[in-house]
Chain A
Amino acid sequence: MRILVVEDDEIAAEYVRKGLMEAGHVVDLAGDGELGLEMVKAADYDALILDRMLPKRDGLSVLAAMREDGDATPVLILSALGEVDHRVEGLRAGGDDYLAKPYSFAELLARVEAIGRRSDPTAAVTKLKVGDLEMDLLARTVRRGEENILLQPREFRLLECLMRNAGRVVTRTMLLEKVWDYHFDPQTNVIDVHISRLRSKIDKSFDHALLHTVRGAGYRLQV
């Protein structure tokens, strides 16, 4: 993906650039809001990482100007203001996701890859398939190979989220947000417990595992 990072903290921006490049992305940097807006207009990016507090022009205003121009580039808003109302404000202004500082790089990577791919036309999908694991979104059924797998409603949504992001890391926080619609930090491994239940249903009696734990990041569903 081609990603533009608009961030005035040079050291932080450099870390992000280096990390994203190592993950195989092409990264441009902009140090202030105006430069960021110009660069977005000039080139076609797959995703934008936008700090909220920027010199010259703040992040939300850059975002508003982009959306007014009809620019639908997915935007991940970064902010030191982690409270719920700021998140709501950011998403309402047209952001696709919101990440509060300090974030772990793994979280940033997972989220930016998730929104980058979101621009693909996936809306009409009624069936998801990863390897021999199939999910029918209309009939609400899951089967792996020849075997039907019975899932609780929440497990179904958990698996759906992982399948929609197949091949990419999904962090615990992302799961909590997308599957449970919670925006808080559990201090314990509450998500891991749910994952391990799901894993015992979809992986246990099969010779190769689909649901992988990515150390220090989250989970990935992959053949």
Chain B
Amino acid sequence: MIAQLKRMFHSTVFRLSIVAAALFVASSFVVLGYIYYATVTTQLSAIDQDITVELADFQTAFDAGGPNAVNQVVVLKIIDPSQRSFYFYQNLNDAPTTNLESQPLPDKPRGPNETITFNSEIRDRATGKGTGVFHRARGQYQVLAPASVIFVARDTEFIMSASERLRRALMIAMGIALALGLASGVYVSRSFTRRIDSFNKLATDIRAGDFSRRAPVTGSGDELDDLADHLNGMLDHIDRLMSAMRYAGDSIAHDLRSPLTRLRTTLEATAVQVKDPQAVDALHRAADNASELLQTFESVLRIARLEAGDRRELLIDLDPKPLMDDLAELYEPSCEDAGLSLSWNIESGTHIAADRGLLSQAVSNLLENAIKYTPRGGEINLGLIKNRDGRVEISVTDTGIGIPQEQRQRVKERFVRLEQSRSKAGSGLGLSLVQAIADLHRATFALGDGAIMDKNNNTAGLRAALIFPRKRR
């Protein structure tokens, strides 16, 4: 889980979608912020303008009728029950005419049309006393004449609280946008990573030799589908080239079989007829060589046949133990003659879907390889176990010359023989046949280090294992 998260944070798509989400949030912040600003400030400046106009009206009234005229207008406005404004008028040192609880005028004089914001206690209209509820308000004052000052303010509580609600809503919206951005980033990157992973898995499988795999096409027609199409086209092409090459090899093997068989028959027949022992010997040697060639061709064709068709119907459910016991018994004398000790650990009660003939061919190839490449005094172990994953594993482990790590994949290909095996007889087809048989059984053919330690405590030799798939219930 943690590794998965870590992987996700490292994925390009996740990072990109996080950046995209951040940009989205930032831009919506700007847009929403502007909307907020515009709505609130437009309303407030309308109020300010309104106040300026009203102040100008008072100036006109003062110029026409003096302080009394102003006083009269103020009183009328104050007693209007629908009034949402505050007024304060003081002429000289008279008691001010006002509906304000407190004196909002600043200590220091300010410039004309300068807005003053303050909290005003709301007066109960019936009693004329303060209610203890404060509303936000904004107003301006004007000096009508020396020592005659009028102040007009509007109750902006409604606008201010509305704007506060708006601001809160915008913040929440922003939070939701951020969360959604993150969530979609995670979702997009996961689905994208999954598809990229399928490409990576494909490449691994192909490199492991499973050429039947193709990239998945979702049908959405996007760039990844295009990429999958191109990759699949490329793989088809490589597959065609490879099978053309294989086909050429197979046809050569097939076409040369009949003439070679006749050659061998002629040699054998002639060997019976001639009397000269030297000639008989030479004819037999020639016939043996022809047999070897035929056997090589036969192996090539056999591998081709195994690879060509899905022959799963051959497989039957069997316990490989008797087969392994027999093979151990069959090969024990050969091991002894080669100065090797053969041991086995064969578990009973395992079951696999297998073909008896093919399985014995595969294991005998492995055993013969082990005998061939293990120097005298070495050990060979034949194993049949249920491994830790619950899969049945048949293995041949030896203390022989082994196969270098980097060559282990290559030796499973046809006709590949390593430098150190050139001196020995063989066609380079044994392990290819094992691989083909393993494929037919859907088993993994793994080559690893021999588990047997040599005198210097180094692992020596080779462990060849056929790991069968778990049985489906």
Contacts and interface: CB of A to CB of B under 8 A. Distances in A.
* Secondary structure call for the B interface: helix
Interface in A70-84: 82-84
B364 interface: yes
B361 interface: yes
Interface string A122-146: 0000000000000000000000000
Contacts of B257: 101-102
11 contacts: A18-B269, A22-B269, A82-B302, A101-B261, A104-B265, A104-B287, A105-B268, A182-B357, A184-B360, A187-B430, A197-B333
Interface string A184-207: 111111100110010000000000
A68 interface: no
B265 A105 contact: yes
A216 B288 contact: yes
Given A83-B305, A216-B271, A194 B265 contact: no
Contact of B334 (A85, A182, A185, A193): A193
B365 A187 contact: yes
A184, A187, A193 interface centre (most CB from chain B within 10 Å): A187
A112 to B, nearest CB: 15
Contact of A105 (B269, B314, B334, B357): B269
A154 B329 CA distance: 9
Contacts of A185: 295, 298, 361
Interface residues of A, number: 32
Contacts of A22: 269, 272-273
B364 A186 contact: yes
A94 interface: no
Contacts of A12: 258, 261-262
Interface string A98-131: 0001111110000000000000000000000000
A103 B361 CA distance: 19
A188 B294 CA distance: 15
Nearest to A191: B330
A85 B269 contact: no
A187 B302 CA distance: 14
B265, B298, B334, B361 interface centre (most CB from chain A within 10 Å): B265
Interface string A42-56: 000000000000000
B412 interface: no
Nearest to A81: B305
Nearest to B269: A19
A66 to B, nearest CB: 27
A216 to B, nearest CB: 5
B291 interface: yes
Contacts of A193: 333-334, 337
B205 interface: no
B355 interface: yes
Given A15-B262, A104-B291, A182 B360 contact: yes
Contact of A84 (B295, B314, B371): B314
